[in-house]
Amino acid sequence: MIRINLLPTAKAKRTKTRTELQTQLLLAGVSVGLTVILCGYFWWQLNHQITMLRNDQARATKERDVLREKVKEVENYEANKKLLEEKNRIIEQLKRNQSGPVHLLDEISKNLPERVWLVSLNEQEGKIDLAGRAITNADIVDFINNLKRSPFFKDVQIIESKQSNDNEKKIVLYDFKLACTIVL
């Protein structure tokens, strides 16, 4: 007769334990695999963000350098503009002052009597010093009176008048010096 042992044996328990162990190992492997995959994904994503931020930083640096160049150009433009404005102002002032000496010489020549001539004329800051010669003292007085009547001159004063001899022509002449102020 055949005997069948229906009682559980140690072998059956072992199989169950082995199956549970294999299941647990499989679950642990899957968990470790998923953890590695998740860590790899997060590492890749962070690495990608770092790359993007570095690219943004490089682009921002280039843009900053371009803007600095533009700022320098603007500063140079403004400096050049100020320089040109200053030059234009000087040119305009020279143009305004250009008519002054012409007008001065015209007024002096209009008021100069026939027998009076000028030897020198100096003008500084509106003050005029004249030196000249005349045939008589009366001619010098006529010249002074003419200058006083002119609206272009004020404070006309005689500084010196003295008699001198022209040895070549044997004529008596009068040397004089005058000072006056220009009225603009």
Whether 170 shows a pLDDT value over 80: the answer reads: no
Q: What is the span of the domain harbouring residue 128?
A: 112-182
Tell whether pTM > 0.75: no
Q: Pick the closest to residue 141 from 182, 165, 174 (CA basis).
A: 174
The predicted structure's pLDDT at residue 99:
66
Q: How many domains does the chain have?
A: 2
Taking alpha carbons only, the member of 180, 179, 178, 173 closest to residue 137 is 173
Cβ atoms 120, 131 nearer than 8 A: yes
Q: Same structural domain for residues 29 and 67?
A: yes
Does residue 151 register a pLDDT over 80? yes
16 or 172: which leads in pLDDT:
172
| 94 and 116 inside one domain | no
The pLDDT value recorded for residue 4 is 77
Same domain, 46 and 119: no
d(CA 175, CA 137): 9
We report the CATH number of the domain holding residue 175 as 3.30.70.2830
Q: In the listed set 67, 98, 129, which residue is the last one of a domain according to the structure? A: 98
- For residues 75 and 117, state if they share a domain: no
**CB distance 176 to 142 below 8 Å:** no
For residues 73 and 142, state if they share a domain. no
